[in-house]
Structure 1
Amino acid sequence: MAAASVPLRLAGHGLGNRLAFERDPLGFLLHQRQYGDLVRIDDELYMVNTPALVEQVLKNTNSTFSITRDLLGEEIDGSRASEDLAQWMRARHVAGRGVNRSGLRAAGDRMAAVVARHAEAWRDTGTIDAITALEDLSARLIAEFCLGPDPGRVPALVARLQDARLPGALPWPGWAPSLRGRRLHRVERELAADVSRLIEERGTRPEGPASVVVDQLIDACGQGVLTHQGAVGVVVSTLFAAHETTAAALAWLLLLLDRHPQVRRQVVDEVDRELGGRLPTAGDLPRLAITGAVVKETLRLYPPLWYLERTVAEPAELGGHRLHPGQRVGLSPFALHRDARLYDQPATFHPARWTDRPAHTRLPGYAYLPFGAGPRMCLGAHFGTVAMTTTTATLTAGYQVTRAADCTPTFDTRTILQPRGLTLDITDRAPMSRTYR
């Protein structure tokens, strides 16, 4: 089919469409779907709205399509020389073997203890800023998983990098971006230097608790599969992406449980029944079916990667329409996950849809992609779901987590999808059966 133009009554012309997108990104993405499977926003940008077209774009990233903008919309070198791209993908593949199911089983038993220590501190405080506290937690979880139980300054540096990358809510003076850029590069260098040092120390002193990701990268360096710098680069990118997306998704999950007390009761009953007052281990997670469904449904309604974009690298046909190099294709997991052609009552929080096997199996491929898909899928996707399930089970076992009475969270789409302004009250539900150092 030919690409449809967004009609005049939506915004009037290409510039108007872009202004409408900036004013209300999520509303615009939901609205534009009615104009076709492939919608022309302007001469440069097209939106795809079906799993089949999404699959065509994401599976062919690194060939027909490339990534040329980061999460902040800033230009990056997405074309990469072929050898540079090949080395980057080798590093991702090696790291991915560590961030897979077997790697997480090896380290999963330590996760709940980390969550419990943070939860005790939150309880002592009483009220927390959700995003700040959960980013601190997720940075610690992913840093320990990638680098071992003593990641030094890395969690704090990951948080500083996040602050440096995030644009201000208000416009800055004209000279400010250069200061922001210098600060960003300084923190990036510090983080890379600390990761490099920890990898080197692990290589010279391999004794101690296993650090699955780094150990796999060190082995690959020893075999000449990738360079030390390549190993550092993939760890840094994994740290940053996984901590931010996991924290945002956890914030949405806790807000949803507060809004749906009947679902929270189901989670609490399951955790009490399956864990009996102890903390979860990796081996417990398959039995926490309701908790896992809550995680999956949260990621459907509020996928951290709410919008993805690819640049056409070579002439392509998409949905019967010819695209040319330099044009861009956008896709929205947020909009796709709320498509009534794919999901019953798509705007409703209904975790049971994932435990109803027939409903689950009816979904086509690429209809559910909270962490993207294809060769550039987020490396921390499986880590994120395991961390979310473990955190949810740990918190519901011992604490009551509720939205603070004076807080009204709003959608924040400056980078990933977050509930801006969410504050949570943390109180004891029942005494924990163990203490943690």
Structure 2
Amino acid sequence: MVAASGQLGPEGSGFGNRLAFGRDALGFLLRQRECGDLVRFDDGLYMVNSPVLVEHVLKNTNGTYGITKDLLGEETDGSRASEDLARWMQARRLAGRGLNRGGLRAARDGMAAVVARYAEGWRATGRIEAIGALEELSARLIAEFCLGSEPGRVPELVARLQDARLPAAVAWPGRVSVLRRRRMRQAARDLAAEVSRLVAARDTGRDGATSVVADLLIEACADGALTFDGAVSVIVANLFAAHETTAAALAWLFLLLERHPQLRGRAVDEVDRELGGRLPTAADLPRLQVTEAVVKETLRLYPPLWYLERVLEEPDVLDGVALLPGQRVAVSPFALHRDPALYDEPAAFHPDRWIDRAAAPRVPGYTYVPFGGGPRMCLGAHFGTVAMVIATATVLSRYRLSPAPDCTPVFHTRTILQPKGLVLDVADREPAKVAR
């Protein structure tokens, strides 16, 4: 296939761009942005860098654009003609009702209690491997929110699937690679089986319990709008996606707070003032402005979904360039969020930009897409933000998490954007300041 012309990437050829991307993916994404709003990576892949083009691509997913791989990297039919896709989108819409603001209000203080229990365990050991510990916490939070306060073996099985899914640092040939994929598929089947068991149990044994995501999907099954397997599938996808992204973002957040002690102090003062020593609830969010701004700025600088890709299902024209079915278009939230045309001091950690929005210059939509956008936007976007605010406030009210002196975290992009090698020391926090 011969692509239409367009501005080539910074290395000037498809082969050169691929080499540069392989050596330093994030650095390449920042450099290619300087080549224009639409950049030709090679004949099969273009990159879009303006909010207008990003909005066009993401909003037209499931129509002009499709997704050809699922969360496990398996090939899938993402075309608009797929009946499976239509059922999947129906399930997503129903699950989204449980993950919205009303559903989170119903959760009350349950999330903070889970965080407090895990944080107490971290304090007992004194040191944690950040990504592993935070993934365990996030898996429990999303499992309870989707399935209720007794999520069975789901958190453990989510962790097993995550471990099986991680690609090898060095590619293994032949039989070893096949065995790894078999292990991953078995882990996915085991997780689906456990979710299926728990959903079926809720269907037959509910006695006025607080509604969770599973309950909404069960009702849809009873009405004939969704199959039971479809309900299980969408819960599994949400469990897996939300736990990984939330954990990575929290790891970056605690690292950033320690690198900016003045901001950490402001967040601690806010937590002490607004909570007075009790655990936070979703109702406290409007008063935790600094904490929420820290969360949003962390997601801007270090969006877990740092690279998104779509494939053309039908011809389209982007920035005057005609593209053909089968060609791909990529969006990088990491590069978009660091565009100096969109953000003042884009590389700086500056949470105040989210507090006084009325005084900030007006920017176009789709300049902030840490969870993607359009019909395939991450369903857990609001859940993830709220969970991060509650987790941050809970931890800051009691403990201090600081990087261990001997650890040197680095960017890790093999799956989502993580601080690889981050180890956190966990200590009791200094006494709260008493207002006079």
CA distance in 1, matches of 2:361, 2:106: 30
Shift of 1:15: 1.7
Distance 1:361 1:99, change over 3 A: farther
Identity across matched positions, percent: 69
CA distance in 2, matches of 1:292, 1:207: 35
Does the residue aligned with 1:61 lie in a helix, a strand or coil?
coil
Equivalent runs, 1:141-220 vs 2, <5 Å: 141-207=141-207, 209-220=209-220
- Give a deviation string over 1:220-259, Cα, whole Å, max 9, x none: 1111110100000000000000000000000000000010
The answer to whether structure 1 residue 14 and structure 2 residue 17 are counterparts is: no
The answer to whether structure 1 residue 379 and structure 2 residue 379 are counterparts is: yes
CA distance in 2, matches of 1:122, 1:159: 18
Residues 47 and 331 in structure 1, CA contact (< 8 A), matched pair in contact too: yes
Equivalent runs, 1:21-420 vs 2, <5 Å: 21-70=21-70, 75-79=75-79, 81-207=81-207, 209-360=209-360, 362-420=362-420
Residues 300 and 370 in structure 2, CA contact (< 8 A), matched pair in contact too: yes
CA distance in 1, matches of 2:47, 2:185: 33
Distance 1:391 1:3, change over 3 A: farther
- Give a deviation string over 1:31-73, Cα, whole Å, max 9, x none: 0011110011111000000000000000000000001134576
Does the residue aligned with 1:309 lie in a helix, a strand or coil?
strand
AA at the equivalent of 2:128: I
AA at the equivalent of 1:158: V
CA distance in 1, matches of 2:184, 2:242: 19
Distance 1:149 1:430, change over 3 A: farther
AA at the equivalent of 1:249: A
CA distance in 2, matches of 1:324, 1:61: 15
- Give a deviation string over 1:1-34, Cα, whole Å, max 9, x none: x963326xx4342122112111111000000011
AA at the equivalent of 1:140: R
Residues 123 and 426 in structure 1, CA contact (< 8 A), matched pair in contact too: yes
Distance 1:292 1:111, change over 3 A: same
- Give a deviation string over 1:142-168, Cα, whole Å, max 9, x none: 000000000000000001010111112
CA distance in 2, matches of 1:140, 1:288: 23
AA at the equivalent of 1:11: E
Structure 1 residue runs of 5 or longer lacking an equivalent are: 433-437
Shift of 1:285: 1.1
TM-score where L is the length of structure 2? 0.96
- Give a deviation string over 1:255-307, Cα, whole Å, max 9, x none: 00010000000000000000001110111111100000000000000001000
Residues 71 and 415 in structure 1, CA contact (< 8 A), matched pair in contact too: no
Residues 6 and 321 in structure 2, CA contact (< 8 A), matched pair in contact too: no
Shift of 1:363: 2.2
Does the residue aligned with 1:175 lie in a helix, a strand or coil?
helix
Does the residue aligned with 2:372 lie in a helix, a strand or coil?
coil
AA at the equivalent of 2:31: H
AA at the equivalent of 1:103: G
Residues 307 and 333 in structure 2, CA contact (< 8 A), matched pair in contact too: yes
Residues 71 and 241 in structure 2, CA contact (< 8 A), matched pair in contact too: no
Distance 1:110 1:361, change over 3 A: farther
Does the residue aligned with 2:39 lie in a helix, a strand or coil?
strand
Residues 249 and 299 in structure 1, CA contact (< 8 A), matched pair in contact too: yes
CA distance in 2, matches of 1:27, 1:334: 10
Shift of 1:171: 2.6
CA distance in 2, matches of 1:343, 1:209: 45
Structure 2 residue runs of 5 or longer lacking an equivalent are: none
Does the residue aligned with 1:93 lie in a helix, a strand or coil?
helix
CA distance in 2, matches of 1:255, 1:74: 33
Residues 67 and 78 in structure 1, CA contact (< 8 A), matched pair in contact too: yes
AA at the equivalent of 1:149: S
